[in-house]
Structure 1
Amino acid sequence: MATQFGEKIRKLRVMQNLLLRQVATKLNVDTSIISKMERGERPIKKEQVSILADILKADKAELLTLWLADQVMDVIKDDPLADEALKSVAKNLKKSK
């Protein structure tokens, strides 16, 4: 299943006419990892998100937000109480600010 983060990375890479192998080399990983990451089949480490942002000349905050949203989605996607849990988290985040 494609992820928001993976779709964004693919879009940025294609817009800049970069090949998978070019991005993989700069990130110091195998080409297949970038391909799987774009398709949402393999997670990427948080530290690698900032590096990808630099490689793709993208907004780090936007990519980190998409990455985090995908992490949350992966944890709660099949739970019937996911919506209520997210509402509770949002409420607590507002309180803590």
Structure 2
Amino acid sequence: MKSIEFGAYLKALREEKKIPQRKVAHAIDVDTSTLSKMELGERQIMIGMIKPWAEALSANFKKLQMKYISGKIIHDFNGQPFLKEALQSVIKEL
């Protein structure tokens, strides 16, 4: 999943729940302009923002964090010939 897709997903959740941008922006400590850019994929969403973002949206933190991490891995490493083996190695180390 690309950053724009994750941002769009968060925007859709926010709009579905009719939560104003200012509430989410306050929760993740950014202004509404920056939040808008994050939702559009124009600004990077940092992993530390996921928990307060989930709380502001009354969304499942685990689900959002998993979606963020898996999207980041796919975006950064998709097409690498040994990606699956590397992920299996990481799982063993955890």
Please state which band the TM-score falls in when normalised by the shorter chain: 0.7 to 0.9
- Hey, which bits of structure 1, 4+ residues long, moved more than 6 A? none
What is the TM-score normalised by the length of structure 1? 0.75
Q: Deviations over 1:13-32 (max 9, x none)?
A: 01111122221123221112
Larger RCO (CA under 8 A, 6+ residues apart):
2
- 1:87 alignment partner, one of 64, 84, 88: 84
Equivalence map 1:29-68=2 (5 Å)? 29-68=30-69
Q: Mind listing any 5+ residue stretches in structure 1 that lack a counterpart?
A: none
Q: Report the aligned-residue RMSD.
A: 2.1
Identical aligned residues as a percent: 28
5+ residue gaps in structure 2? none
Aligned residues: 92
Q: TM-score, normalized by length of structure 2?
A: 0.77
Counterpart for residue 77 of structure 2 = 76
Inter-partner Cα distance in structure 1 for 2:68 and 2:10:
10
CA distance, structure 2, for counterparts of residue 32 and residue 74 of structure 1:
25
